[in-house]
Chain A
Amino acid sequence: MKLGRVIGTVVATCRYEGLEGVKLLVVQPLDESLKPDGRPQVAADATAQAGPGELVFVVASREAAQALPEVFVPVDLAITGIVDEVALETGPRRQQPTARWRSPASKD
């Protein structure tokens, strides 16, 4: 799953069967510091409660359709949750490796 920001809505009247009633939203993918990363995409809203401006997380590929009430639908991106808080570790725990790493690229 990745973070994204809902930036718009999509209306499509004529749809493939099974997609009736599924809310479609335009989502801007974000990197881990919540900056835009890549092109906006259209996601099906599996929470049914997301709206423009909200920070969400999305699941891609085949798992997207599994988030919806009808599982066999042509969907490859779905909103699976609305983010309350992203707690990013920035202190020494992030810098200190917890695994011994032996490779030509590291001097450990």
Chain B
Amino acid sequence: MYIGKVIGSVVSTIKISHLEGRTLLLVDQLDLGGKETGAYDIAVDTVQAGPGDTVLVMDEGNGARQILGLDPGAIRTVVVGVVDEVTVGG
């Protein structure tokens, strides 16, 4: 999992059935200082996160299928939490 920031959303009409009715968020991975790194993912939202939110992102297929109730499921990246506070090295 990693901590990211929601920097936008993606709108799509033509998509695979696993993605129907799901919100797609653009999430930029943050570094240890909380700054954007430019490494991004399009993630499925499960926590009603919005632009600017600091979020917890899971990037693993089996976990994604399990929480979304899909089998098979072609989803790997899911926003699974909104982060309130991070403490590193202290």
**A residues with CB within 8 A of B:** 1-3, 31-32, 46-47, 49-50, 57, 59-64, 66-67, 71, 78, 80-89, 93-94, 96-106, 108
With A61-B61, A63-B74, A94-B51: A32-B28 Cβ-Cβ less than 8 Å = yes
Asked if A89 and B52 make an inter-chain contact with CB atoms under 8 angstroms apart, the answer reads: yes
How many angstroms from the CA of A78 to the CA of B78 in the assembled complex?
A: 17
Minimum Cβ distance to chain A for residue B28 (Å): 7
**B residues with CB within 8 A of A:** 3, 5-16, 18-19, 24, 26, 28, 31-35, 38, 40-43, 51-54, 61, 64, 72-77, 82-90
Q: A2-B41, A63-B74, A86-B8 are in contact. List 11 more A-B contacts (CB 8 A).
A: A1-B42, A32-B7, A32-B38, A59-B74, A81-B19, A86-B11, A89-B51, A89-B52, A98-B52, A98-B53, A102-B88
Q: Which residues of B contact A102 (CB under 8 A)?
A: 85-88, 90
How many angstroms from the CA of A105 to the CA of B87 in the assembled complex?
A: 11
Asked if B18 and A82 make an inter-chain contact with CB atoms under 8 angstroms apart, the answer reads: no
With A47-B14, A57-B12, A97-B34: A78-B85 Cβ-Cβ less than 8 Å = no
Q: Name the residue among B14, B43, B51, B89 with the largest chain A CB count within 10 angstroms.
A: B14
Asked if A2 and B42 make an inter-chain contact with CB atoms under 8 angstroms apart, the answer reads: yes
Q: Which residues of B contact A101 (CB under 8 A)?
A: 33-34, 85-86
Asked if B42 and A104 make an inter-chain contact with CB atoms under 8 angstroms apart, the answer reads: no
How many angstroms from the CA of A106 to the CA of B31 in the assembled complex?
A: 10
Q: Which residues of A contact B6 (CB under 8 A)?
A: 89
Q: Which residues of A contact B7 (CB under 8 A)?
A: 32, 88-89, 94
